């Protein structure tokens, strides 16, 4: 049971010096220290990523003007589909590298890192080349619906300044996955904090000094890439004894294994995104666009519950992989349960607070004219509680690369839930949709995942 004593103990562990990992107890304590440290750094990073846009939005909107600001956001949203451009190799690397780390297999770690970088640099080069090749033949003004002469004059260069850094970032962003695999995710989150502060300073300086609208957009778009490169340089210099880059580490078998694992995560990302993010689209088509607006706002607020809970469970992915590779399944079993209990306690508490204050908070925030359904919000909160509870168990499956089973069950969930949402929303209204999601998730996904995790525990306990 999670008690205040446990919480205080974990907080103290964050500030403890690294534990001796030559013993099982030392490795257990060190894993928990790094999980707590990564979760804390993730929370701080999320605060920066939430607050700083509120500060910069007024500066950028005033400096760029309504149409160019809209162009900037439209291009960013349009090319957001390339979030899947790494073909799931980041997830594949994290799974395979955490296992190799647990086995202390330095040679395999080198092969995994070198081959993943090589494949993703090839993908990035192909995407950049295709963009530059197609660029002269596309009417970007018409595609982005640019109407004023000023916007039409810069639309092309704005697209290049946003998209090329995004493509180049594909291989460089691997540093985050590598640090997560080595249970050093706190480094990535601290660099993200630095990037957020630097971005704020750059926006302020460029706007005040009037250095140009394209300069502001290009600088902001390049900030993640700059952060990835700096993080990589510092990290690889510090760990040059452990991580080196050489063509001798490139081999077909490792690359094939990475692609196989990565593509499974790629398809899993697609099916989970469809299953968990399509509700607003259904509301707009079954109901109306006016109903979709409050629904999307409620969704953004409610999803913060599981998002914050995921900061606690995500570091388990690599810790589990390393622990399982060492045969320490008892640690995985014990701490998965602890994190699940902690997550559900947090999610229930936050959900109750949100439901109680929502009528007053939304009226104060969005005005008297904003109306929403408490029934609908409650359904969303229940869904977030379920997501928070089961997230640590997904980390067990991810850590051993059990992805096909997840794709299978999510495919069933997507088909069943969408059909039920469309049918029931037509009869009872769109407010029933989040309840359908929660019921389907509780009856289809959770029992299946818990059963799979139980079988994994039993399998590895028999090996021990």
What local confidence, expressed as pLDDT, does residue 76 receive? Answer: 76
Which of these ranges, 73-87, 156-170, 176-190, 373-387, has the smallest mean pLDDT?
A: 73-87
In percent, the amount of the chain with pLDDT more than 70 equals: 95
Copy the structure tokens of residue 156: 């092309």
What local confidence, expressed as pLDDT, does residue 464 receive? Answer: 63
Distance CA 160, CA 80 (A): 14
- Mean pLDDT score, 56-83: 78
Cβ proximity of 328 and 28 under 8 Å: yes
Average pLDDT, the chain: 88
What local confidence, expressed as pLDDT, does residue 444 receive? Answer: 96
Copy the structure tokens of residue 171: 């291989």
Distance CA 152, CA 133 (A): 20
Distance CA 168, CA 232 (A): 14
Residue 146 pLDDT more than 90?
Answer: no
* pLDDT band (50, 70, 90) for residue 7: low
- DSSP conformation letters of 265-295: HHHHHHHHHHHHH-HHHHHHHHS-HHHHHHH
Contacts of 75 (CB under 8 A, 6+ apart): 144, 158, 159, 162, 163
In percent, the amount of the chain with pLDDT more than 90 equals: 54
- Mean pLDDT score, 67-85: 74
* Residue pLDDT, tens place only, 273-312: 888 888 888 887 887 767 777 888 888 888 888 888 888 8
Among 57, 80, 76, 226, smallest CA distance to 162 is for 76
* pLDDT band (50, 70, 90) for residue 9: low
What local confidence, expressed as pLDDT, does residue 437 receive? Answer: 94
* pLDDT band (50, 70, 90) for residue 22: confident
Residue 361 pLDDT more than 70?
Answer: yes
Chain length of the chain: 464
Residue 5 pLDDT more than 60?
Answer: no
- Mean pLDDT score, 427-448: 94
Contacts of 330 (CB under 8 A, 6+ apart): 461
Q: How far is CA 349 from CA 44, 306, 358, in A?
A: 20, 12, 14
What local confidence, expressed as pLDDT, does residue 240 receive? Answer: 81
CA quadruple 179, 180, 181, 187: dihedral, nearest 10: 30
CA quadruple 106, 112, 114, 117: dihedral, nearest 10: -150
Residue 410 pLDDT more than 70?
Answer: yes
Residue 233 pLDDT more than 90?
Answer: yes
Distance CA 229, CA 240 (A): 16
Residue 439 pLDDT more than 90?
Answer: yes
SS3 state at 368: coil
Residue 217 pLDDT more than 60?
Answer: yes
Distance CA 72, CA 55 (A): 17
Among 352, 328, 344, 264, smallest CA distance to 461 is for 328
Strands (DSSP E) found in 162-253: none
């Amino acid at each position: 049971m999670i008690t205040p004593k446990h919480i205080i103990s974990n907080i103290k562990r964050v500030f403890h010096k690294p534990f001796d990992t030559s013993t099982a107890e030392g490795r257990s304590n060190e894993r928990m220290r790094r999980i707590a440290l990564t979760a804390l750094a993730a929370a701080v990073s999320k605060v920066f990523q939430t607050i700083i846009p509120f500060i910069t939005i007024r500066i950028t909107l005033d400096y760029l003007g309504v149409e160019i600001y809209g162009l900037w956001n439209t291009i960013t949203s349009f090319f957001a589909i390339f979030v899947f451009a790494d073909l799931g190799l980041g997830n594949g690397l994290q799974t395979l590298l955490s296992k190799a780390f647990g086995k202390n297999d330095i040679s395999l770690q080198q092969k995994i890192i070198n081959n993943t970088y090589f494949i993703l640099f090839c993908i990035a080069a192909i995407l950049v080349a295709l963009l530059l090749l197609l660029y002269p033949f596309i009417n970007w003004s018409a595609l982005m619906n640019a109407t004023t002469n000023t916007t039409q004059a810069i639309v092309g260069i704005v697209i290049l300044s946003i998209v090329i850094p995004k493509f180049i970032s594909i291989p460089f962003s691997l540093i985050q996955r590598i640090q997560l695999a080595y249970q050093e995710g706190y480094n990535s989150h601290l660099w993200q904090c630095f990037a957020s502060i630097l971005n704020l300073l750059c926006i302020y300086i460029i706007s005040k000094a009037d250095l140009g609208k394209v300069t502001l957009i290009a600088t902001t778009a390049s900030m993640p890439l700059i952060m990835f490169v700096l993080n990589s340089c510092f990290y690889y210099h510090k760990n040059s004894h452990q991580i080196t880059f050489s063509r001798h580490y490139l081999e077909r078998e490792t690359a094939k294994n990475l692609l196989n694992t990565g593509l499974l995560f790629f398809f899993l990302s697609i099916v989970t995104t469809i299953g968990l993010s399509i509700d607003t689209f259904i509301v707009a088509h079954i109901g109306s666009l006016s109903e979709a607006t409050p629904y999307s706002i409620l969704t953004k607020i409610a999803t913060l519950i599981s998002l914050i809970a995921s900061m606690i469970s995500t570091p388990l992915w690599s810790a589990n992989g390393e622990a399982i590779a060492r045969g320490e399944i008892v640690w995985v079993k014990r701490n998965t349960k602890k994190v699940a209990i902690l997550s559900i306690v947090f999610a229930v508490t936050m959900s109750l607070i949100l439901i109680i204050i929502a009528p007053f908070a939304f009226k104060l925030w969005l005005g008297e004219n904003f109306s929403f359904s408490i029934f609908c919000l409650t359904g969303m909160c229940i869904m977030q509680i379920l997501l928070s509870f089961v997230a640590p168990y997904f980390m067990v499956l991810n850590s051993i690369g059990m992805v096909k089973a997840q794709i299978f069950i999510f495919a069933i969930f997507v088909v069943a839930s969408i059909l039920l949402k469309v049918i029931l929303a037509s009869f009872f209204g769109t407010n029933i949709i989040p309840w359908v999601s929660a019921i389907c998730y509780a009856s289809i996904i959770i029992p299946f995942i818990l059963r799979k995790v139980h079988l994994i525990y039993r399998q590895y306990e028999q090996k021990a």
